[in-house]
Amino acid sequence: MNAVSTDTRQRILESARDLIYASSYAEVGVAAICERASVKKGSFYHFFPSKQELTLAVIDEFLVEFKERMFAQAFSPDIAPLDRFRKLLEIGYGFQVEMAAVLGHIPGCPFGNLAAELSTQDDGIRSKVDQVFALMERQFAATLHEAIGRGDVPPEVDADATARAMLAFLEGVLLMAKTRNDARVMLELGPAVADLRILKSSALST
Amino acid sequence: MNAVSTDTRQRILESARDLIYASSYAEVGVAAICERASVKKGSFYHFFPSKQELTLAVIDEFLVEFKERMFAQAFSPDIAPLDRFRKLLEIGYGFQVEMAAVLGHIPGCPFGNLAAELSTQDDGIRSKVDQVFALMERQFAATLHEAIGRGDVPPEVDADATARAMLAFLEGVLLMAKTRNDARVMLELGPAVADLRILKSSALST
DNA sequence: TTACAAGTAGACCGGTCGGTCTAGTTGGGG
DNA sequence: CCCCAACTAGACCGACCGGTCTACTTGTAA
């Protein structure tokens, strides 16, 4: 086999990531991705069977970057558990401000954006984003358990549900910031994420 | 002038509302809207100068229905202020379940969907949705003030910020339900909306 | 040195997009 | 009864969509 010599595939991936994040899935055509990556369609369809398959790979690409830029720094053992959520928000705020300076608008959450746009149309993408969310929830829940262990959070708190609620809240805050086109919403509302609590054994009917 | 005899415009509006809510703005073409409304393109462009202008009108259409189906019933004086938020969620849950039975998937929030998809592409739609959110926030804030007046919520709570946080949380919960394609997320997380609080004079830098 | 697979180039495809335009068809006021 | 504006019909437009296909170049292993 040939060595994985060229970076063509990666250039396509990164172009797609940037373009889709800056606008939306539907707005970005395969031709635009190719042009930005300086690649011809022949190469594109050599590496990816379809735009939707590419998008699945783009989600992984987003996740890698997210883990590096956000998770790795916020969820550090040096920081008190509950402060890690605040730290995550702080980093996210800086990132949105940075993006807004380049793009002219707040892009919001790449995962949330794709979920909102495509969940009703493409079940593959929907469930991929769902898995990403589940991964984040696990990280949040582990952090909450740590906080419970230290006594920062009472033990009757349902860590899993609270983790989900925190993620939902952050997604909502990001969406509000995007809709207002003002990142400061994140500073105003965000800190409340660390105060969210859902108690165990709330009845769940059906 | 001729009387406003025909319902053509309204049929277009309702077809567009249903189709866009069921999938997305980009996925629904003008031709599809016309077909569903049993209208030809000539009529469409007689009533609406462009797809984007139609969408602005569709947002108003969503808002009318939302006020009728959700706000009017949840924000009743018969219900204790904080319970109104829980009631809103309950109604919303029923609605999402109902839609899911018809469509095969959870559609989420019509406003949030449009904001997520189009905020970065169309500033007119972005700011229109922003206004809708502002209207909801006002309703939430008024309810919170009522709760403060009754002593259900301590007076050092920032009603405006808390109202915004509540809206963000609800949007996030809807997005999670859509991404999971499971409305029960709303039952698990939703009740926490009534416990959200943001205190006054949290420093807001810059 | 040859042979073959990996990768690239780019013309091409049918279909659909939002939108335009001209030619009617109504229906109510004068 | 006529006229004119509101409305409808539907053919048509260029641009672009995701995707295909054939021909070519290249790197490397035998």
Q: 3-state SS string over B162-181?
A: HHHHHHHHHHHHHHHHHHHC
Please list every residue in chain B whose beta carbon sits closer than 8 Å to the beta carbon of residue A168: 169, 172-173, 175-176, 185, 189
How close does chain B come to A77, measured CA to CA in Å? 27
Number of domains in chain A: 1
Q: Token pair of A194, please? A: 């660390």
For residue B18, tell me if it sits in a domain.
no
For residue A96, tell me if it sits in a domain.
yes
For residue B187, tell me if it sits in a domain.
yes
Can you give the pLDDT at residue A205? 44
Q: For chain B, list residues with pLDDT below 50.
A: 1-5, 204-206
| Residue in B121, B195, B196 nearest the CB of A27 | B121
Q: Token pair of B203, please? A: 């420093």
Please check whether strand D approaches the CB of A29 to within 7 Å: yes
For residue A12, tell me if it sits in a domain.
no
Distance CA B15 to C1' D7 in A: 19
| Residue in B168, B178, B188 nearest the CB of A189 | B168
Q: pLDDT band at A6, cuts 50/70/90?
A: confident
Mean of per-residue pLDDT scores for chain A: 94
Q: What is the mean pLDDT of residues A138-154?
A: 97
For residue A42, tell me if it sits in a domain.
no
* Distance spanning both ends of chain A, measured CA to CA: 55
Distance CA A108, CA A21 (A): 9
A114-132 residue pLDDT tens? 999 999 999 999 999 999 9
Residue A15 confidence (pLDDT) above 80: yes
For chain A, how long is the longest CA-to-CA vector?
Answer: 58
For residue B130, give its domain range.
58-195
Q: Token pair of B204, please? A: 């807001």
Please check whether strand D approaches the CB of A50 to within 7 Å: yes
Q: pLDDT band at A2, cuts 50/70/90?
A: very low
Can you give the pLDDT at residue B6? 74
For residue B1, tell me if it sits in a domain.
no
- HEC string of A49-86? CCHHHHHHHHHHHHHHHHHHHHHHHHCCCCCCHHHHHH
Q: What percentage of chain A reaches a pLDDT higher than 90?
A: 94
The CATH number linked to A168 is: 1.10.357.10
Distance CA A19 to C1' D16 in A: 17
Distance CA B175 to C1' C15 in A: 33
For residue A73, tell me if it sits in a domain.
yes
A88-106 residue pLDDT tens? 999 999 999 999 999 999 9
A48-66 residue pLDDT tens? 999 999 999 999 999 999 9
| Residue in B23, B126, B169 nearest the CB of A121 | B23
For residue A146, tell me if it sits in a domain.
yes
